[in-house]
Amino acid sequence: NEPRSASVISLTECRLLSLERGDLERILRRYSSIAFSMMRILSRRLRTTMAA
């Protein structure tokens, strides 16, 4: 529950969505395929980071 920050520059016009933690948790419980996709991506990024 600590603030997160990121800087992003869009190459094209885009729309952003901000989710509260509880809302994201409800989505992930309802749509487990999204949760599994996120876990795969995070796992891949962690392996890449640890290998560097």
Query: What are the tens digits of pLDDT across the range 11-44?
Result: 999 998 888 999 999 999 999 999 999 999 999 9
45/6: higher pLDDT: 45
- Helix boundaries (H) for the chain: 21-30, 32-51
Split at pLDDT 50, 70, 90, the class of 7 is confident
8 A C-beta contact, residue 34 and residue 27: yes
pLDDT bracket for residue 2 (50, 70, 90)? confident
* DSSP code of residue 12: S
